[in-house]
Structure 1
Amino acid sequence: MDFNATGLSVGDVVRVGEGLAPVFAAGPARWYALRVAPQREDQVEAWLQRRGVYAFHPVLMRKVRRMGKSRDYARRYLPGYVFARFPGQAVPHRLVGRSGITGALTCADGSWGVLEPADLRKLHAMRKVDVKTKAERRAALAAERRALTVSAGEPALFRSGPFAGFHCEVVELTAADDAKVVVTIFGRETPAQVPVSDLVGVVRSC
């Protein structure tokens, strides 16, 4: 199963940062649930990624207003944990005590437990994404919605009502949320007045 995030997928090979001591040994890729100090999740992720380890923690980004100012707030679903994909077997003594890492979920014998990628699917979907990217996506969706609004002098499509599926030309928008349109029926242009809610704007072809 692939995880698409920051250009990385399960199975990718990531080079260790130049000059940094490796924190994993040769072997197949492994996922671990690392325990970290409070409020150190972001710092641990950055520290690991500089050493060729992809890491994330599940959060929900929200906007909150405090003292009249809006700011982004990350609500952590599993505070104190960072899930990390090592390109090989993790080397605990090179990790514990570094950058806020305090340990990992372990097996009964005390060894670090290896997680199955399939078990992380939902958690990975909840990782923190770039706020700027989300804002750009919202702006694009808003632009698409504006493109579908009905304007006088522009073509439109009936999405409901008796003319559903027919195209028309919007002549005028009235104060009663109606639109005066011209619709071609049986080859003849026919004026009509319909609710704006029956219409959706269309892009005029070049």
Structure 2
Amino acid sequence: MMMQHDKFDGSPVAVGTGERFDDRMRRIRADMLHFASRKARDDSPWFAIRVMSGREKAVNSALEGADIEALVPMRMGPEYRRRGRVIPPVPIPVMTGYVLVRFAASDEAFLAIRGLQHVIDVLGGCSSPMRIADCEVKRFKALADDGSLDWEKPTIVFRKGEQVRISAGPLVSLHGRIITCRSDGKGDAVVEVMMFGRETPTLVPLANLEKV
């Protein structure tokens, strides 16, 4: 004879803790960061993570604090003039909204990285992340270090609507169309790039573009 229970025993997970489910899941993923601290070989590929604009250095510091190899190539930003006073340029990330990371790849490691504050996603997704060759990352960093990608460094002039190819960095070899850019060959362009089945607006230094 089957007995039926008319009372629920137990309680939902995390109820009564005052912690929202999304916050709890983010904390759990952050607790898994040790998986991403497993070192890769020196010639292993890198991964790019998308982060909130302006939070690149904060995410980079958090990763390095967790003993995870991370990199944000820097360049000199624009020079400003306000009320007749020149404000000198300061270092800014070459690629706004991206941080490069390297570790021994695993599902747990990618899940942990996604759980970090200010991180939006892994480029390509956790199941099939885009891999960036170590030689390309070194080339990209060298271009940044020697000033080739600085905001004020003039390059060829681009126009709205032109088809371009990204020549260096985490999105190297991708093609796109210029949505907007300056007319003096300096600074950045908003480029609509086809990535993973959809067109995505991306901010790219003009020095990182080639006409096609």
Query: TM class by shorter-chain length?
Result: 0.3 to 0.5
Task: Give the structure-1-normalised TM-score.
Answer: 0.43
Structure with more strand by fraction: 1
Task: Give the structure-2-normalised TM-score.
Answer: 0.42
Higher radius of gyration, 1 or 2: 1
